[in-house]
Amino acid sequence: MKLLVIEDSQRLLRSLGRGLKKTGYAVDLVADGADGLDYARFNDYDVIVLDLMLPGMDGLTILRKLRAMGKQTHILILSAKDQVEDRIRGLQLGADDYMIKPFSFEELCARLGTLVRRQYKAKNPEINLGAGVRVNTATKLVERNGSAVNLTPAEYALLECLALNRGKVISKEKLLQAIHDSDSYAGPNVVEVLICNLRKKIGGAGEDCVVRTRRGYGYVVD
Amino acid sequence: MLLFAGAIGGFVLHARLVHEFDRALEAKARALIAVTSREGRRVDIDFRSESMPEFAKEEADDIEVQQDKEENNEEEETGYFEIFLQDGTVIRRSPSLERDDLPLRLDSSKEAAFRNVKLPDGRRGRLVQIAFEPRVEPLKTEVQEPLDEDQVELPASVDEQSLRLLLVVARDRERLDALLNSVYLTLAALTALLLGAIGLLVHRSIHRGFRPIEAINTQITRIGPATLEARVDLASSPTELATIVTALNGLLERIESGFARERKFSSDVAHELRTPVAELRAACEVGAKWPDDPAAIQNFFGDIREIALQMERIVTTLLMLTRCDAGTATVERKTVPLAGLVVQCWERMVEKAGKKGLRFRSRVDPAVTVKTDRDKLEMIVQNLLENAVAHSVPETLIDCECAFVDSRVDLTLANEAANLTPEDLRHVFDRFWQKDRARSAQDRFGLGLSIVKALADLLGIGLRVNLRESSRFEVCLSFSAENGRAASGLTRATIEGVPDGGREVARSV
């Protein structure tokens, strides 16, 4: 899952970037409003975390422009503005959620998880992939036959992306976008390595494997 | 007052009634005097019970007549009279007295003298005593006729030529007392009624009079922190209260303005602290959740220290502002050389200014001194220089010069400020005001010029801002000897000893 965080505080960007990446998201971090709008326009994100008071362009203008150009990306406003009018204005302009600074990192993750699930119309955070494999998108835990499977953030992000798009073939490029930020130079072979590791950890091979390869197209979870 | 008036009324009525009673008593006495005459040595008292029945003896068997009188409320008052010689010898008494006597004072005054007495039948009565000389009748015959029942022979010791008799007439005063009592009772009842009526009227009048005040009170009671924009309705208030209502509305306006300022200040403080607190919390939570990366943790600690220092600066500045506002900041005046102070402050800014390619020129004569609080003036100059460095267009000049205008010394600091408008000049001293609405500068909070203004006010230094040629921002500190209560005056010797224009000191970075 890929996030864009537009926030002018460098210190907050550092903390959020590290925390969200550790949680399993691919995160793009931008400190300027105008740059943030460009990132949002030319990339596909699952959720955009948007501050309101930004240099270059304020958050509400970014929001208005994105909605005007038809971008349906879920947007969570993260602002120090705590007045009800500010919240109402943000939500009326098309934001999907509003959080006031200071905030709990856990709560931010929970809200982001909700917006991601809403993106894929999956209300139940627990997804049963068959063969005894279950993915919980709220707790970011994977179980196989009742036992926890220890996945790296990148492996989990890959599995979650496939699980939320169950039945759809996802290309290597799309998977790469979901697990790495836009400035990453990683190539498609990284996806192959991660899929290989994932199959080893959640088990199954050949016809019994949860993650199947559609040769020439990508990967799919049936 | 009413009670006093009632008492006076009662007294006057009492006197009047007693006077009338006395006049009636005196009239009876005069009637008796009129029927008393002397013929030789005989005194003839032509008294007839029929004409003066009150002096007649009460007949015990006349009960029916008495009852009739009582039923018809025609009770006849009982009267008594007694006529004495000057030595107190009784010569005639009314039949009603039988054998009793009326009290006598041996006083030969012809004036009627009244007093209260106890009557022979034990009742209270009123008495009049008059001395008189009986009318002299000529002797009808030479031959002495036998005395009839109305005639009295004078004793031999009494000289008939100088005869003076003492008449005492008394009557009971029960009806007078009853009348007086009823008058008193009526007066008391009237007074009580009037008092009650007045009390009721006063209560109603006061209640009615206080109604506008109660209405104002109700309006004021409804005003709370959330409804400070409300005002007391002047149109519905009586003219007498217009001044108070106007004063109250003025007070409410000042309170509302104060509240608005405090609310904005609190909101600004809260907002200014939200971002560093959010940074602090995020760094702590993320660092605690993934403590496995020492380099990242080290960065977080660095961030946390920076945040702590930033918050410390905010708190210190706010405390200083509060002390200046409350007038509790101490001022220690001493002679301060301006040029040295400016250079010292600039030296702290050299590194930052160097990064922006800024140059600095000071044209302050080293001989110029002002008498003020050195530390606080240093804070003022330091803040102005920090502000100039932070907002100057890169590769431009920051200019500091000193000029003499009348009896003042003006220290002016000028820099090139992009995007500043004349409208902004009205807000530059507002707390937490920043031209950059994103407030992205993490080391500035919009308090620099606020603290400059607060300190300048405290020290009595004049402060002006100007925008010249659309982008040249000037701040002028004006030191004057006649600068109010907290004047930071120049020493006269210093003013006189400084040549015009000062000496140019150029520094560049």
Query: What is the rounded CA–CA span in Å between residue B19 and residue B25?
Result: 10
How far is residue A213 from each of residues A188, A194, A210, measured CA to CA in Å? 14, 13, 10
Query: What is the rounded CA–CA span in Å between residue A148 and residue B386?
Result: 57
Query: What is the rounded CA–CA span in Å between residue B191 and residue B183?
Result: 12
Quote the distance between the C-alpha of residue A57 and its chain's center: 24
Residue in chain B lying closest to A103 (CA): B278
CATH topology of domain B2-139+147-190: Beta-Lactamase (3.30.450)
- Read off the pLDDT of residues B192-244 as tens digits, 9 standing for 90 and up: 898 899 899 999 988 888 888 888 888 888 888 788 888 888 888 788 888 88
How far is residue B51 from each of residues B30, B54, B78, measured CA to CA in Å? 14, 9, 14
Query: What is the rounded CA–CA span in Å between residue B409 and residue B151?
Result: 131
> How high is the pLDDT of residue B67?
59
Task: Determine how β-strand B42-45 pairs with β-strand B79-84.
Answer: unpaired
Helix (H, G, I), strand (E, B) or coil at A184: coil
- Read off the pLDDT of residues A31-84 as tens digits, 9 standing for 90 and up: 999 999 999 998 889 999 999 988 889 899 999 999 999 998 999 999 988 888
> Would you tell me the crossing angle of helices A189-202 and A172-179 to the nearest 10 degrees?
80
For A80, the closest of B274, B436, B437 (CB atoms) is B274
Residue in chain B lying closest to A12 (CA): B279
User: Which of B266, B284, B440 best probes binding to A when mutated, by most A CB atoms within 10 angstroms?
Assistant: B440
Residues of B within an 8 Å Cβ radius of A: 270-271, 274-275, 277-283, 285-287, 289-290, 293, 296, 299-300, 303, 306-307, 436-440, 442
CB contact under 8 Å between A55 and B442, yes or no, is: no
Q: Which two tokens stand for residue B138?
A: 């000529």
CB contact under 8 Å between B439 and A53, yes or no, is: yes
* Residue with the two structure tokens 């900041």: B329
Helices (H), B366-482: 374-391, 448-459
For B279, the closest of A11, A33, A55 (CB atoms) is A11
Residue in chain A lying closest to B284 (CA): A15
Query: What is the rounded CA–CA span in Å between residue B313 and residue B305?
Result: 12
Shortest alpha-carbon distance between residue A184 and chain B (Å): 19
Query: What is the rounded CA–CA span in Å between residue B355 and residue B168?
Result: 135
CATH topology of domain B330-508: Heat Shock Protein 90 (3.30.565)
Task: Determine how β-strand A133-136 pairs with β-strand A126-130.
Answer: antiparallel
In the predicted model, residues of chain B with pLDDT beneath 50 are: 61, 482-509
Whether the CB of A139 is below 8 Å from some CB of chain B: the reply is no
Number of H helices, E strands in chain B: 10, 17
Query: What is the rounded CA–CA span in Å between residue B252 and residue A210?
Result: 73
CB contact under 8 Å between B303 and A16, yes or no, is: no
In the predicted model, residues of chain A with pLDDT beneath 70 are: 182-184, 204-208
* Residue with the two structure tokens 């879920």: A74
For B282, the closest of A16, A53, A100 (CB atoms) is A16
> Would you tell me the crossing angle of helices B242-289 and B174-222 to the nearest 10 degrees?
40
What backbone torsions phi and psi does residue B6 show, to the nearest 5 degrees? Answer: -60, -45
H or E element: which one contains A179?
A: helix A172-179
> How high is the pLDDT of residue B66?
56
